[in-house]
Amino acid sequence: MVQYASHIIPLPDVAEKVATRNAYGKALEELGAEDPRVVVLDADLSGSTRTSLFAKKFPKRFFNAGIAEQNMVGMAAGFALGGNIPFISSFAIFLTGRAWEPVRQSICYPNLNVKLVASHAGLTVGEDGGSHQSLEDITLTRVLPNMRVMLPADAVQTGAMLRYARDVHGPVYIRTSRPNTPVIYRHPYHYRPDEADLLVKGEKIAVITAGVLVGEAMQALESLAKEGIFPSLINLHTIKPLPEASLLQLLARHSKVITFEEHSVYGGLGSAVAELCGREMPMPIRIHGMTQFGKSGTPDQLLEKFGLNAAAMVQKIKEWM
């Protein structure tokens, strides 16, 4: 029988669904009320990123930089040097693409206390199409020295990550998503960046994923359990610094690894796992993700087309067995 950790809801299809970008907006409101050092900057997308919630409550601490992401990064650096804790937001494709060089030079190089929270990341941006589906943001941020990279799986984990980001010094990148996804974690939940989360304790094959695909993977494992197949499921919510000791301990009792991500297979979650295994624990691994630009369609249509929904995961896991 599939064994779930005590803070996990076994059936995601009966759980409440909330977009992680919405959870970000609500968590920002709470942080703003608790800490006057928190300021928020947005690149004219506050309605979509949900920073508009903070703007309505704390208008004197909200700054719309306009469609000028590079300038916004420079402004955030100034706020950080002044002792504030700036959270800056835009679509992932703009914040990590268009503004990458200022993020490198103005935030990461001097190790400033700026938090980047990007919405509309990955394939599940959906109808916006390939031009707006950021499939490279994890690669672009994890390569930067001093940057932490996090992928919340649901609304509860998003809020916990925001609090951690507020309290830890230095640059942080948090990837949020557009569609509503199952609320997997239960309160009280404490985010531990040094621990990979074992959501399902199984055998032989370790399934590793993060973000919106965690819900898909849980559905896949429910289907596999009916066929007498019981892989483990690991939510690798922190890509950098990778929780190496925890992940190695979990992988030690498995013979194979399979990863899924709505991101490029080059430099993303799967690459991080493969790098660790190659160095510390060589074992067979298959990495599933994107190798091309996305297309326009609903999130469900796109996950099906590119083999990243629950049904596709079931087939890929069975093939790997």
Distance between CA atoms of 305 and 123, rounded to whole angstroms?
A: 11
Residue type, 63: F
Query: Are 100 and 7 in contact, with CB atoms under 8 Å apart?
Result: no
From residue 116, alpha-carbon distances to 13, 123, 162, 264 in Å are: 30, 20, 10, 20
Sign of CA dihedral 217, 221, 224, 229: positive
Measured CA angle at 64 (ends 59, 66), to 5 deg: 160
**Catalytic status, residue 69:** yes
Site of tokens 């916006």: 128
| Count of other CB atoms within 10 angstroms of residue 194 | 11
Distance between CA atoms of 231 and 220, rounded to whole angstroms?
A: 10
Nearest to 237 by CA among 168, 170, 316, 149: 149
**Which of 69, 136, 216, 262 is an active site residue?**
69
Q: In what order do the strands lie in the sheet with 115-119?
A: 62-64, 38-42, 85-91, 115-119, 172-175, 148-150, 238-240
From residue 64, alpha-carbon distances to 42, 47, 76, 113, 205 in Å are: 5, 11, 11, 19, 47
Catalytic residue numbers read 69
